[in-house]
Copies of this chain bind each other. A is one copy, B any other.
Amino acid sequence: MTQAARTRPAPIPDAANEDLREAGDAPSPMDQGDAAEAPSYDLIELLFFAYRDFVADPDRILAEYGFGRAHHRVLHFVDRHPGLTIAELLDILRITKQSLNRVLKELIEQGYIAQRTGTSDRRHRLLTCTPDGRALAQRLAGVQGERVRRALAEAGPALRDPASRFLLAMIEPEERPAVSRLIAGGGPDSKVKP
């Protein structure tokens, strides 16, 4: 078998072994000056685990194509916002143009993304998905959407709005308007938002 994370009989350890008790045994309240509030370890760790599983689904599919997460992100945002320029993509992904270029080039060469020259500004490269690219992007969004759908079905559809609001509030305040616009602009009405 592979050496990845051992045999992994049980997913996550119980952390309930004899030895564990003899250890320093967990972070007590600590010397928090006075008013210091303890961090929300539960939400911090839930975010970690939720995200870990959230990206695991696409990873499996991407591997079939020889792509990685970087390709996924590019494909996703181009699919959602056809006509996106390089600069806009860079601002969304927060990577260097060299990093972007490597994966973008692969996606273009392999026929998942197409480039056109902007008409009003011919320096721009307008990115769109080819039918293949669109299909892959939607397959990826499909598995992620399915996880969200299942989560809401199990934990209650009423959680949809609170979850959205919490996640938005977790975003850097100055970015929130832009993110909101970006998300809102994904629908059939697109990003026409002057």
Contact = CB atoms under 8 A, between A and B. Distances in A.
Nearest to A38: B145
A29 B189 CA distance: 11
Interface stretch (A60-68, A103-111, A146-154): A146-154
A41 B183 contact: yes
Nearest to A88: B13
Contact of A12 (B13, B92, B120, B192): B92
Given A97-B3, A138-B30, A160 B43 contact: yes
A12 B176 CA distance: 9
Specify the main secondary structure of chain A where it touches its partner: helix
Interface residues of A, number: 119
Q: Work out how many copies of this chain go into the complex.
A: 2
A172 to B, nearest CB: 5
B5 A44 contact: no
A62 to B, nearest CB: 15
Contacts of A34: none
Contacts of A52: 94
A191 B41 CA distance: 14
B12 A183 contact: no
Contact of A26 (B37, B163, B175, B188): B188
A8 to B, nearest CB: 6
B190 A20 contact: yes
A47 B54 contact: yes
Interface in A24-67: 24-30, 37-54, 56
A80 B53 CA distance: 21
A87 interface: yes
11 contacts: A4-B95, A15-B193, A19-B124, A23-B82, A26-B185, A26-B186, A27-B134, A38-B145, A151-B169, A155-B169, A159-B162
